[in-house]
Amino acid sequence: MTFIQNYLRILLPVLALVTTISEARELDATDPEQVIKPEVDRRTVTVPRLHARDIEFAPFIGFLDIESFGTNPVYGARIGYHFTEDLFLEATYASSSVSDSAFRRLGISVFEEETSPLTYYHVSTGFNLFPGEIFFGKGHARYSYIYVIGGIGVISFDALDNVAFNLGFGMRVVPWDRLTIRVEVRDHIFESDLLGTNKLTNNIEATFGLSLIF
């Protein structure tokens, strides 16, 4: 009897422990309710960006430096068509002026008049290289693009038409869905013999403008 009593003394606590664990598991399985329920309000975020088949109209102002003839203000407008989010075609027309006043002080007249109106137009192709974001202050991000662009056109001044190639780069920032801010630098390259020697000239232009997206 002593053996049976000792066996029961060991067995009964073990059975009680097993029963307790089994009941606890059943309780967990039948009560899946979380103790803390996260309450997160989901926000719909619209990221302004350029899309395929968008049309862009972009007035601009800036400065145009004609090699050997100084820098003058330039203003004009561009109209572009975006084939994809990265590739676009653009036509530009702009107006400025060019002066030979520095040569006239030396007794040399290069143009018929001291100041001659200058106009140019060209067609260019651009490609967005680095889409990203620019932060204005804390928590205010705006979509942006760095792009390269190049094309061909005509620069006219002093009754001369010069076939010109243009190469450049720029940054486009998109603060709202239908408005972009553009900063751009281009080199207008054409041959000129105004100073007696035919040479390839580099004429740097820097512009700032706003674009409307349709």
Residue 189 pLDDT more than 90?
yes
The pLDDT assigned to 49 comes to 64
Higher confidence at residue 35 or residue 157?
157
Least confident of 71-75, 149-153, 193-197: 193-197
pLDDT band at 176; cut points 50, 70, 90: confident
What is the dihedral sign for C-alpha 184, 188, 194, 198? positive
Q: Regarding beta strands 115-128 and 141-157, do their DSSP bridges make them parallel or antiparallel, or are they unpaired? A: antiparallel
Predicted confidence band of residue 208 (pLDDT cuts 50, 70, 90):
very high
Q: Compare 132 and 109 and report the one with higher pLDDT.
A: 109
Whether residue 205 is predicted with pLDDT greater than 90 in this model: the reply is yes
CA pair distance 21, 92, nearest whole angstrom = 80
Q: pLDDT value at position 46?
A: 47
Measure Cα distances from 84 to 18, 54, 69, 167, 170 in Å: 68, 9, 39, 21, 18
How many of the other CB atoms lie within 10 Å of CB of 134? 14
Domains of the chain: 55-213 (2.40.160.20)
Of the candidates 80, 66, 88, the residue with the CA atom closest to the CA atom of residue 148: 88
Q: Over the stretch 66-108, which tens digit does the pLDDT of each residue have?
A: 998 999 999 999 999 999 989 999 999 999 999 988 888 888 8
Q: Are 78 and 87 in contact (CB under 8 A)?
A: no
Q: pTM of the predicted model, to two decimals?
A: 0.74
pLDDT of residue 110: 85
Residue 45 pLDDT exceeds 90: no
